[in-house]
Structure 1
């Protein structure tokens, strides 16, 4: 199965209306980042055990860990969760940046240092979410649009 087929199968496997929100979000991210690398993580570890929700990733960056190790990873991810959708903006060093910049204006969402979690796209201001996405991508790879 191709990467695009895995992503499509994951999105199509979600219940409505979450499926429609993920489809909308996926298409919009691809418009914002048309040349980005796509990722799909099935949420399983090397032994096939489920360790997280599956997620779709966009873009590419190198994460640096405290022990000096590095890892290629996506800049932005989306995932369905029990109560809605999570948007992960990875690699922003200042964990107060997202909640301080977007937490009060994005709408009915929980905003942490790297995650914006909401029940439905109708609960949030999409323009603010798009701004947060673009801002996060710019901060993690300023030379990539």
Structure 2
């Protein structure tokens, strides 16, 4: 009979890999213009831990992680620079989408009356012979 290996998610396994959000920041946090260099480093270093805590993949193991989770969930004001960077990141990715200045739909046929805009220039004779 085959043994099924269960993947155990540990804090060390999660925090070993730098945090990246390829969907919202495909070129990285530092190149986005939304974050300072220090904030980008904090997000890369602590973002995986914050995401795992918020998603419930790991439980807080100490008071510091409990404080991170409370801040990330909005139960208390952010006290550390890591918490402030995470909340800024969350605010950026969850901001409402802005509408285009050009509009989002084309006018229907009833809304546009093409005959009014077209003038009849049939009396103009253009000759291209030289």
Q: Which has the larger radius of gyration?
A: 2
User: Do they superpose with TM above 0.5?
Assistant: no
TM-score, L = length of structure 2: 0.28
Please identify which structure carries the higher strand content: 1
Q: Which has the higher contact order (CA 8 A, sep 6+)?
A: 2
Please identify which structure carries the higher helix content: 2
